[in-house]
Structures are given as structure tokens and as C-alpha cells.
Structure 1
């Protein structure tokens, strides 16, 4: 797992207002699989707060160098939807965000085990779970104010009014930034807010320290 905390990104491609399909912005790439609507009879997503001692928090801390490791604060939710259980960790703190946003880590859970399936930059809140899937995984809706990609320079790109971008699950991970291949304007479809602007971070005293053992 590789942390980007501090936000790194790819050459900026275009303003989302002027973009249509992701393959138009990334010539030579195959078409992105279409978003599949969630069946009408599927149970609503179930949200729960991430516990202060959740092992995913320790996993992210272990990726960081100082002072980011000590400064990191976490806003997290676990969501169960469509047979998948995901933990979303939005990371804030001194020196960990830029005006264009903060980082969002996504983990897929299977009982006590977990795997990282997303490291997403340039993210503002709210963060939504959309009522559609790509490759069997729920699509994410993130709020953005700049069109950065996962290799672009910190602070690059022209700012714009907040809008929502759909991030699909491609190959084995979620698309990493709003200008990366696969990302596209969401059109504000149905979905549920997972992490809102009002959600507070865990108090520093409750966040696990870097020295604590990371459980599998």
C-alpha cells in the first residue's frame, strides 16, 4: 500500500465541464464499462462509524512519514451494500490537505481481513455511495473543485465550482483522481452520503498511534 498523503497527481487533462466520456480524455483507452443501476429491491446501504481502534486506521498511519503520521486525523465510515463491505477513511490534519482537497482511502472488508482498494486524491466532502456499480463494486461520488489526476503536481489545475465526479472500480481498485481514466461527471444520481462535511474527525487521543500493531 502506498500513501499519497500530501496529494500527488497526474498532468491535468481538462475541466470536467468540458469533458464527456473518460475515453475521450484518454485516447487509446477502451471504453469504460457502463454503470449498472442497483436493483430496486436491493436493501438500502447500512452505514456505521469506524471505531477508533479500527485496523484500517493503523494501516494508513503506518504508510506515513513524520510529521504526517502524528498529524493525521481520520473521518471514517463503514458501509455494507450489495454484498460488499467497504471502509472509507477521509484523512485530514495539518499539512495533509491542500485547497484542492484531501485524500480518501478505501478498504474492502472480509470479516477481520481487509485490503486497500482505493487511494483517491483531490477529494472534498460530501462523499457518496452511488446507486450503481461497475465491475460488481459500488460507484463512489466525490466532490471536487479541481481536475487533478493521480500524477499531477500539488496545487495544479484551474479551480471551479464544486461538482460531483463518479469514480468506478476498474481492474482491482477505484480510480485515483478526478481526471484519471474512468472518472467522469456523475450527473448527481441517486445515492447515500457516506462522509458529510459535518462529520468530525476522531479526537487525536483516540486515534491509534503508529507504534500499535496492525492487525490483519
Structure 2
């Protein structure tokens, strides 16, 4: 397959189970290696780079099953993600004043994200005690705090309470408005068509159709394969 993701846009990938959506994410982010072809990130070929190098370059992803620290609180999970530096001997020698200033700035960023996602009242809850949908929101909050340039979201709305899906969509659109490129995989068609600027429909590892939400929704091949019809 061949596809492009425009800067500062929300691109959605839809298609039936087994179409290759998550496999494509794995190839793009270095978790699997492509047999052939090229992958370019911000104009640079990156298909041979490991996952951690791609993340350092600004491509951040989520997984269908969220990952995190199950025995830590929501606040602690987000603080870890928001920290841009790790402990070193030099930083330790710099003393308490240096790292306290950094921690304070990080805490302010985390508080903003908690409020935006409606999780402020759950900040002290341990991740293991949250619902699946709440864990998904925490996972999304971690990705927001990593300051991505390109964000790949795999089923972000799955399990999220309907009252929180609109808030999630608003935050994804705000990332786009800040110039961040977003690619979304999701089976919730109402959510996808509500946030996407452009869509690719995948089937059996190939691109079946692509276009704006209106163009894709009216494509008879897509209706037959995936969306269904009223007749």
C-alpha cells in the first residue's frame, strides 16, 4: 500500500478486522520490519530505525491494549510521561533547586492535561483500579505530554464512555490545530467521521479507497465492504 499523511491533519484508517491497520502501525513505528518499500518521516527515510529512535524523532503511538504502570496513580503515570529528562550524575550534583524547578513545570503540564481529559478527580487513583475506558484516556494523556510531531492512535475510543468520546475528539482536534499530525485507527465510525480530515479504507493489506469523509461515505465499494447500507 502507499499513503501520505499531511502535516497538521487528522488522517483515519478504517477497514474490517484483518485489513492490516495495526500491522501498518507496527511497520511505521519500527516494531515490525517491512520486507520491501520505504517509509519517510518528515522527509527522512526511517524504515531501518528502531522504535525508540523513531519516538525520539517525534513519532509517538498508542496500542490497542494500553500500556502503563498499573500500580502507580494516574498522576504518577502522567508525570513519568511528561518528564523530558532522566536522572544523571550531573543533574544530581546540580542539587535540589534544579530538579524541583523542572518537576514544578512538569506538574503544571500534567494538571492541564488531567483537566482537559476530565480526569482531575481521578488523579490519585491507581491505574489498576480504573475502568478500561479511563485507562485509555490516561494512555492518550501520556501521548499528549510527550510533545509528538506525529501521533498514531490505535483504537483510542474503544471502551471509552460515550460521554467522554466527545471530549477525546476535541483534544485530538486541538492537537491538529497546534500543528501535530494525527493518524487514527478506530471501529467507531461516528467518532472517526467526526474527527478525520481524510480517510484511507484498507482491505486485505491494500488501500481500497481514500478521500474526505463525505467521499468515502458515498463510495459504493466502501459501503458494500464495511459501512453497510440501509437497503
User: Whose Rg is larger?
Assistant: 2
Task: Say which structure is richer in strand.
Answer: 1
Q: Report the TM range for the smaller structure's normalisation.
A: under 0.3
Question: What TM-score do you get using the length of structure 2 for normalisation?
Answer: 0.23
Task: Say which structure is richer in helix.
Answer: 2
Considering Cα pairs closer than 8 Å and 6+ residues apart, tell me whether 1 or 2 has the greater RCO: 2
